[in-house]
Amino acid sequence: MDKMLERIYSMTNRELEECAAHLSLGGGTRGGPVLDHGKGVRVWDVNGKDYIDCTSQSWALLLGYCNEDINQVIREHSSNMTHIHQGFDNKVRFYLARELAKHAPEGMNRVSFTVGGGPAIEAAMKIAFKNVQPSREFVTLFDSYHGSTLGSMGASWISTKSVGKFFGGSRFLPLTRAFVRIPNPVTYRNPLGVDTEEYIDICLKMTREIFQRGVAGKPAGVIVEPIQASAGQLILPKRYLQELRALCDEFETLLIFDEIQTYGRIGETFAANYFGVTPDIICLGKSVGAGLPLAAIIIHDKLEGFSPDSEELHTFANPTLSMACAAKQLELFDNGVLENGRNMGKYLGDGLKKLQEKYPQIGDVRQLGMHIGVEFADEKLNPMTEEATKIRTVGFKNGLILGTGGVRKNVLKVKPPMIINQAECDEILEKFEASVKEVLG
């Protein structure tokens, strides 16, 4: 083994603490284990304890840790090339652009690569401005999350107001854009207490009013996650998204799907196809590079794309290694991975719904493919934030890594890699129940 790697791998806990003093982090919920190595859905900490990872590391590892097929591509392609500047063509980029377009909704054929989810949102915003004039403002949904770069931060609820409290991003408000917000059609505990269909109608009516009277000029674009993930795994109703599409057409604005969390995970390559909606732009990030850094936007044929005069230029927007892995992952999607994710996701979702009978504090289980959220609430549907946080902490002790979400952080996310098998799902269900029991009794 390389001597430097050997030195890193053999560091003691004391040395790790010493190194940690040199780190400066701007986010991420720490307090979990220090990770050492992983395989499949499992990861080991530096003390040798193993965990099933239901976060897939910020939902990026759809194929799990150290997937053999991806590792083979990494080995072979990295001995050929790794970094190429955006200005140089290479076979991998051509190939991946064509493969993504093949899977995308009809009429979406041009791909532009970039360096992360936030930058992908910003790239989409640039395309929207180029194509929709006169316009100044973008529209996003209540509770959405679209990134923490200065361009995308204002679109995310974290940077504005959450439950009456200001969070990190609010320190930079003078530097971020002001986004116009529209209500999100939450189907569980909507704020007006009306039934779901009525609430969807109200949200759409409000959106129409806001397009008409709340925006200067035309809205440049509406940015929407088909499943609002950080907001608490809120699966937006098909009817809502389809009618939102029609509203965007009527007001000559663009519909921008943020598929940074839905790509592959719902058991379809693109959520747009599942929801029966062709957006104008799709943004990709997180899992698109099969665990390696990559992001992209795909734009509709009717749009004017980027001009090659530094409108959108990044040193690392042409990572051929990530692109080769992304192409391999697409092949694996078509060869059983998506189908397995759909089946195992349903199995996990059903198992979690059964737990609701024993624990009424599990207010809602929302599942589409392997995109699963478990909401904790009391009998009046008040969020049980403290309990959800404790369950996550106890989960670590029980060898289970869960994500947290929801504006009130009372949703636990169960989103393991799509290659999980039934025995591993059973293990998640057992460990989840043990953790719930320990906290709720």
Which residues contact ligand PLP (rule: CB under 6 A)? 116-118, 145-147, 225, 229-230, 258, 260-261, 285
Strands 403-405 and 411-413 turn out to be antiparallel
Closer residue to ligand PLP, CB minimum distance, 112 or 261: 261
In the complex, least distance from residue 412 CB atom to ligand PLP, rounded to whole angstroms: 16
Cβ neighbours for 280, distance < 8 A, ≥ 6 positions apart:
128, 131, 221, 248, 254, 255, 256, 299, 300, 302, 303
Closer residue to ligand PLP, CB minimum distance, 231 or 348: 231
Q: Kind and range of the H or E element at 346?
A: helix 338-358
Closer residue to ligand PLP, CB minimum distance, 215 or 297: 297
**Spatial separation of the C-alpha atoms in residues 73 and 69, rounded to whole Å:** 6
In the complex, least distance from residue 275 CB atom to ligand PLP, rounded to whole angstroms: 15
In the complex, least distance from residue 259 CB atom to ligand PLP, rounded to whole angstroms: 8
Closer residue to ligand PLP, CB minimum distance, 243 or 258: 258
Question: Which residues on adjacent β-strands are paired with residue 295?
Answer: 114
**Spatial separation of the C-alpha atoms in residues 158 and 355, rounded to whole Å:** 31
In the complex, least distance from residue 307 CB atom to ligand PLP, rounded to whole angstroms: 24
In the complex, least distance from residue 122 CB atom to ligand PLP, rounded to whole angstroms: 10
Report residue 313 as tokens: 């230029």
Sheet architecture: strand order including 108-114 = 108-114, 295-300, 281-284, 254-258, 221-224, 138-141, 180-182
Q: Are the C-beta atoms of residues 241 and 279 closer than 8 Å to each other?
A: no
Question: Which residues on adjacent β-strands are paired with residue 299?
Answer: 110, 281
Backbone angles phi, psi at 60, to 5 degrees: -95, -20
| Greatest C-alpha distance within the chain | 64
**Spatial separation of the C-alpha atoms in residues 258 and 229, rounded to whole Å:** 11
What is the Cα gyration radius of the chain?
22
In the complex, least distance from residue 282 CB atom to ligand PLP, rounded to whole angstroms: 12
Closer residue to ligand PLP, CB minimum distance, 229 or 337: 229
Task: Compute, in degrees rounded to 10, the torsion defined by CA atoms 287, 290, 293, 298.
Answer: -60
Closer residue to ligand PLP, CB minimum distance, 126 or 208: 126
In the complex, least distance from residue 147 CB atom to ligand PLP, rounded to whole angstroms: 4
Closer residue to ligand PLP, CB minimum distance, 225 or 424: 225
Closer residue to ligand PLP, CB minimum distance, 122 or 375: 122
DSSP string, 5-24: HHHHHT--HHHHHHHHTT--
Query: Closest residue (Cβ) to ligand PLP?
Result: 117
**Spatial separation of the C-alpha atoms in residues 258 and 224, rounded to whole Å:** 6
In the complex, least distance from residue 54 CB atom to ligand PLP, rounded to whole angstroms: 16
Closer residue to ligand PLP, CB minimum distance, 154 or 285: 285
Closer residue to ligand PLP, CB minimum distance, 245 or 265: 265
Cβ neighbours for 158, distance < 8 A, ≥ 6 positions apart:
145, 148, 167, 168, 169, 230
Closer residue to ligand PLP, CB minimum distance, 144 or 361: 144
In the complex, least distance from residue 184 CB atom to ligand PLP, rounded to whole angstroms: 13
Backbone angles phi, psi at 44, to 5 degrees: -110, 145
Q: Kind and range of the H or E element at 48?
A: none
Question: Which residues on adjacent β-strands are paired with residue 114?
Answer: 295
